[in-house]
Chain A
Amino acid sequence: MRLNNYIGFFRIFITLILAMCLRVMPISGDVAMLNPDWVLLALVYWTLILPERVGIFHAWSFGLLTDVLTGRLLGQYALAYSLVIYICLKFHKRLRQFPFFQQGLFIFFCLLLSQLLLFFIKNLQHPAQLHATFWLPVFTGTLIWPLVYGLLRFVSSFKVLK
């Protein structure tokens, strides 16, 4: 049982690390604008499935690591992820009952909230002329959510030890 616990933890950790790799994956040209926020998607999935295990602490620490990885202002992803995950924790029971489409809508708003926070922080830092493409990852993230969901579902149902 205890070993299983560790394996469970390890599994979450590995998927999040992979998500971080995808976050900085080298894509050339304009396609890079479409790269969704994989880390947030993975975090949301684990919060919905295992709310007793993955929570704000995970969100905050992986947010901080993402900040360092992508060279942002230290703490902006940490803040955005923590807030989104807090909302997910609040609603996870209801969300499990939601039909597929509604769940997608919820994910859309999660991603939008995170991006909105990042936008505000960026504007505080230096009022920059951000391109409209800044918002594209929200849409691609929503579109890719079923894939992430299915993949992580497979990972989480995969039993190593009984």
Chain B
Amino acid sequence: MLLLTEHKYAQVGGIRTTLSVFVDPLKYLVDLPTTLVEQATNSASSYSALKEENARLREDQLVHQTRLLKFAALEKENIRLRALLENSFKLGEQVLVAELLSVNMAPYEHIVVVNKGTRFGVHPQQPVLDANGVVGQVFRALPFTSEIMLITDPNHAIPVQVNRNGLLTIAVGSGQLNRLVLPFLPSNADIRPGDLLITSGLGGTFPQGYPVAVVDEFTAQPNKAFATITATPKALLDRNRELMIVWSKSIPVPLITKPVVNEEGAVNEVK
């Protein structure tokens, strides 16, 4: 009964949430050895290695900072141009850093658990990124943990576009951690190995413009309607322990502020 009920209706989620309060500590318990080992290796690393890493990070920081300066100018320019086109522009995103718990949920599904849940405001269908690209989306948010479906899960599909020419398509998970499949492109599509795929923003789940994968194989099949295309995800799906959960503002911010008409009928521009 319960089975059918949950499959059909979402209301049973309350039961799951309540039970998860008892079960979630187990996930942290299982994760404990991994965390301890990591901490031990961290504290055991030598002074010179740390110093080296620090110097490297500082350098990186400088490079990124300079790049950001340019980025800010570009963003402003973009906003101005869009304003000329009378287009609205989605402003910024907010991120929360979550750490992976080394817990194995089901071997044949690509679902991972992170240590931030609804208590931090995480909700289902939020996009999850890492430093290199899109990782997946929040599949289920529990009070203390949340489950994240990776883009390579066989049940996952993500709307993407080719960065070079804006060709829209959908990337489907293959069940292998290093491979995505693009099953809906015809054999004469303008796509070639090395093309970067970015999120297209269609569907509303993923914000536009984040790198997803790089095309690594394109095989045109003359006897079939669609070509066989595979891509490698940009994000380090099996290696990263830190992930970013993203909140994108769903309401577009209007750029041209509406003129206000005052009593005399004169038009005032609102600052």
Residues of A that sit less than 8 Å from B by CB: 17, 20-21, 24-27, 32-33, 35, 64-65, 68-76, 78-79, 121, 124-126, 128-131, 133-134
B34 in contact with A26 (CB, 8 Å): yes
Closest to B139 in A: A71
The answer to whether A75 and B2 touch (CB under 8 A), given A32-B104, A134-B108, is: yes
- Minimum distance in angstroms from B23 CB to a CB of chain A: 5
B3 contacts across to A, CB distance below 8 A: 73-76, 79, 121
Beyond contacts A26-B104, A32-B107: 5 other A-B pairs, Cβ-Cβ < 8 A, are A26-B30, A73-B7, A75-B3, A75-B6, A134-B108
- Minimum distance in angstroms from A51 CB to a CB of chain B: 25
Cβ-defined partner of A74 (8 Å) among B6, B22, B27, B102: B6
Question: Taking the complex as formed, is B26 at the interface, i.e. its CB lies under 8 A from any CB of chain A?
Answer: yes
B23 in contact with A33 (CB, 8 Å): no
- Minimum distance in angstroms from B122 CB to a CB of chain A: 15
The answer to whether A71 and B105 touch (CB under 8 A), given A26-B34, A76-B3, is: yes
Question: Taking the complex as formed, is B19 at the interface, i.e. its CB lies under 8 A from any CB of chain A?
Answer: yes
B103 in contact with A24 (CB, 8 Å): yes
- Indicate with 1 or 0, residue by residue over B98-136, a CB within 8 angstroms of chain A CB atoms: 000011111110010000000000000000000000000
12 A-B residue contacts at CB 8 Å? A24-B30, A26-B104, A33-B108, A69-B23, A69-B26, A70-B105, A73-B3, A75-B1, A79-B3, A126-B155, A129-B154, A131-B108
Cβ-defined partner of B12 (8 Å) among A27, A69, A74: A74
B104 in contact with A65 (CB, 8 Å): no
Sort A-B residue pairs by CB-CB distance and give the 6 closest, nearest first: A75-B2, A26-B102, A32-B107, A75-B3, A68-B19, A74-B6
Most buried by A among B3, B12, B31: B3
Closest to A27 in B: B104
The answer to whether A133 and B27 touch (CB under 8 A), given A26-B34, A125-B7, is: no
Q: Would you call the interface of chain A mostly helix, strand, loop, or mixed?
A: helix
A65 in contact with B22 (CB, 8 Å): yes
A21 contacts across to B, CB distance below 8 A: 26, 29-30
Question: Taking the complex as formed, is B90 at the interface, i.e. its CB lies under 8 A from any CB of chain A?
Answer: no
B16 contacts across to A, CB distance below 8 A: 68, 74
- Minimum distance in angstroms from A66 CB to a CB of chain B: 8
Q: In the docked arrangement, what's the CA distance between A1 and B155, Å?
A: 54
The answer to whether A17 and B105 touch (CB under 8 A), given A26-B34, A73-B7, A74-B12, is: no
- Minimum distance in angstroms from B261 CB to a CB of chain A: 56
- Minimum distance in angstroms from A123 CB to a CB of chain B: 12
The answer to whether A78 and B147 touch (CB under 8 A), given A20-B26, A33-B108, A69-B23, is: no
Question: Taking the complex as formed, is B20 at the interface, i.e. its CB lies under 8 A from any CB of chain A?
Answer: yes
Closest to B27 in A: A24
The answer to whether A65 and B19 touch (CB under 8 A), given A71-B140, A74-B2, is: yes
B29 contacts across to A, CB distance below 8 A: 21
B2 in contact with A33 (CB, 8 Å): no
Question: Taking the complex as formed, is B15 at the interface, i.e. its CB lies under 8 A from any CB of chain A?
Answer: yes
A17 contacts across to B, CB distance below 8 A: 26
